[in-house]
């Protein structure tokens, strides 16, 4: 079988049992030689890493004509066009690099990942990520019902590739939703629901994501709630938690970016997550280079190792994230036995309603806001069944200045601290 015939999930679980956080970049280049160089550099980084092939936006939206035109003109793309390059080229990219100790995951962002997953399976790869909701609502115009069907077929395709020594792995992207201003309970609920969807359609090895938000305490509570719900609702499934380094507006200062990355690594260790997707100090300006990615991986691994030796024993408080997430998940699961159908009904009824999401299938009646302590709170819960759990205060509607202020909260906090303490950089 292909060089990459190793279970992504099993390897990450083994590393977790050894007490080591797996760190992974977001990295994709249009040029196969550069993509291979990037994977080799990640493998050689002084950190316990998994490799990533991040795809370009044209492949994500299925615009193969644009991919071909760009490749012919040698235009740059913002990721690796796996379908356009095809299986033979991609096998050459991963040959001798992807192996038992270095699994490679394909990250794509597509509401219809069928051609992508067919290609990655043909390349001997079997780890990827996304979800019927998380790669539809924020990132596409695809009707949610179509996305649910595409993702059902995708899950079945992945499950059918199971073989001795090969356990396909799928990670939910539901813990990110818009990256910012979505109160954590909804992130947790969507991550769990997408995990349930994957398992219902044949996956046996999954990971549940949570994207670092604006408050370390709140994030710790949210990830703890996610782990608890996973244990309760996904028993017997090989699963781990993956943390995404902050996905919103990134600090502009190098030291601010480093401190934010370090905070994500500490969050991962403190909450028992097994894997961390890092961000780089170049994030505020452009797509990161290979070297910047390696630097971020090594920085994160170092911080995680220190944190693991001196664990912050503090148990996170309970402000009700678990109760809200459980109420959301339960309300959705009560709508149908089939998780996909339940998700469709839930969005139609507004039981799930992602703040600031412009997709036509999202009710768009909910709003989140940042309180003065930097915690994400509900301003409006729309028709979501959590009104009794999340009293929303009367607040003036969000202005453009208020939105910008909220979106740049983390950037401001970390840059200001960096500028106030230049020696710390």
| Footprint of another protein (CB under 8 A) | 57-58, 60-61, 63, 66, 70, 75-78, 109, 138-141, 178-180, 285-287, 356-360, 398-400, 403-404, 407
The token pair at 147 is 């996305």
**Beta carbon of residue 6, minimum distance to another protein (angstroms, whole number):** 31
What is the spatial distance between Cα 358 and Cα 84, in angstroms, rounded to a whole number?
30
What is the spatial distance between Cα 316 and Cα 233, in angstroms, rounded to a whole number?
21
Q: What is the gyration radius of the CA atoms in the chain, in angstroms?
A: 20
Q: Which is nearer to another protein, 178 or 277 (CB)?
A: 178
Q: Which is nearer to another protein, 124 or 132 (CB)?
A: 132
Q: Which is nearer to another protein, 52 or 205 (CB)?
A: 52
Q: Which is nearer to another protein, 287 or 417 (CB)?
A: 287
Q: Which is nearer to another protein, 20 or 57 (CB)?
A: 57
Closest by Cα among 391, 228, 216, 390 to 316: 216
Q: How many C-alpha atoms does 25 have within 13 Å on its Cβ side?
A: 36
**Beta carbon of residue 162, minimum distance to another protein (angstroms, whole number):** 31
Answer whether 226's CB lies under 8 Å from 210's CB.
yes
Q: At what angle do helices 114-122 and 144-160 cross, to 10 degrees?
A: 10
Q: Which is nearer to another protein, 42 or 66 (CB)?
A: 66
**Beta carbon of residue 57, minimum distance to another protein (angstroms, whole number):** 4
The string over 50-77, giving b where at least 16 C-beta atoms fall within 10 Å of a residue's C-beta and e elsewhere, is bbbbbbbbbbbbbeeebbeebbeeeeeb
**Beta carbon of residue 236, minimum distance to another protein (angstroms, whole number):** 34
**Beta carbon of residue 61, minimum distance to another protein (angstroms, whole number):** 5
Residues 6+ apart with CB under 8 A from 10: 167, 205, 238
Answer whether 155's CB lies under 8 Å from 201's CB.
yes
**Beta carbon of residue 339, minimum distance to another protein (angstroms, whole number):** 24
**Beta carbon of residue 400, minimum distance to another protein (angstroms, whole number):** 4
What is the spatial distance between Cα 139 and Cα 265, in angstroms, rounded to a whole number?
26
**Beta carbon of residue 189, minimum distance to another protein (angstroms, whole number):** 21
Q: Which is nearer to another protein, 56 or 171 (CB)?
A: 56
Q: Which is nearer to another protein, 179 or 320 (CB)?
A: 179
**Beta carbon of residue 293, minimum distance to another protein (angstroms, whole number):** 15
The token pair at 9 is 């999930």
Q: How many C-alpha atoms does 58 have within 13 Å on its Cβ side?
A: 22
What is the spatial distance between Cα 144 and Cα 2, in angstroms, rounded to a whole number?
34
The token pair at 258 is 């480093």
Residues 6+ apart with CB under 8 A from 115: 62, 83
Q: Which is nearer to another protein, 46 or 141 (CB)?
A: 141
């Amino acid at each position: 079988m292909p060089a990459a015939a190793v279970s992504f999930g099993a390897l990450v679980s083994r590393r977790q049992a050894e007490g080591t956080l797996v760190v992974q970049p977001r990295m994709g280049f249009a040029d196969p030689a550069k993509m291979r160089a990037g994977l080799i550099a990640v493998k050689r980084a002084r950190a316990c890493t998994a490799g990533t092939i991040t795809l370009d936006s044209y492949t994500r939206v299925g615009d193969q004509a644009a991919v071909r035109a760009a490749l012919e003109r040698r235009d740059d793309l913002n990721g690796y066009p796996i379908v356009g390059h095809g299986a033979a080229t991609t096998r050459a990219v991963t040959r001798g690099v992807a192996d038992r100790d270095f699994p490679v995951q394909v990250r794509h962002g597509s509401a219809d990942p069928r051609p992508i997953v067919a290609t990655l399976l043909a390349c001997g790869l079997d780890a990827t990520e996304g979800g019927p909701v998380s790669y539809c609502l924020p990132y596409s115009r695809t009707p949610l019902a179509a996305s649910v069907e595409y993702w059902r077929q995708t899950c079945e395709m992945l499950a059918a590739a199971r073989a001795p020594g090969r356990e396909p792995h799928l990670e939910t992207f539901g813990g990110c939703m818009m990256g910012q201003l979505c109160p954590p309970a909804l992130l947790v609920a969507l991550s769990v629901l997408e995990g349930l969807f994957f398992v219902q359609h044949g996956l046996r090895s999954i990971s549940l994501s949570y994207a670092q938000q604006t408050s370390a305490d709140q994030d710790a509570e949210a990830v703890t709630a996610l782990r608890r719900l996973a244990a309760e609702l996904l028993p017997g499934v090989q699963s781990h938690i993956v943390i995404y380094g902050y996905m919103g507006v990134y600090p502009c200062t190098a030291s601010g970016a480093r401190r934010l990355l370090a905070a994500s690594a500490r969050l991962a260790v403190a909450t028992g997550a097994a894997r961390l997707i890092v961000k780089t100090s170049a994030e505020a300006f452009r797509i990161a280079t290979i070297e910047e990615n390696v630097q971020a991986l090594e920085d994160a691994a170092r911080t995680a190792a220190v944190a693991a030796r001196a664990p912050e024993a503090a148990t996170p408080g309970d402000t009700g994230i678990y109760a809200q997430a459980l109420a959301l998940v339960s309300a959705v699961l009560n709508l149908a036995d089939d998780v996909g159908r339940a998700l469709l009904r839930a969005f139609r009824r507004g039981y799930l309603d992602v703040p600031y999401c412009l997709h036509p299938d999202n009710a768009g009646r909910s709003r989140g806001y940042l309180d003065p302590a930097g915690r994400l709170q509900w301003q409006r819960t729309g028709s979501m069944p959590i009104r009794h759990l999340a009293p929303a205060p009367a607040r003036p509607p969000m202005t453009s200045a208020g939105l910008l202020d909220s979106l740049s909260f983390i950037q401001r906090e970390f840059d200001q601290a960096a500028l106030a303490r230049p020696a710390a950089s």
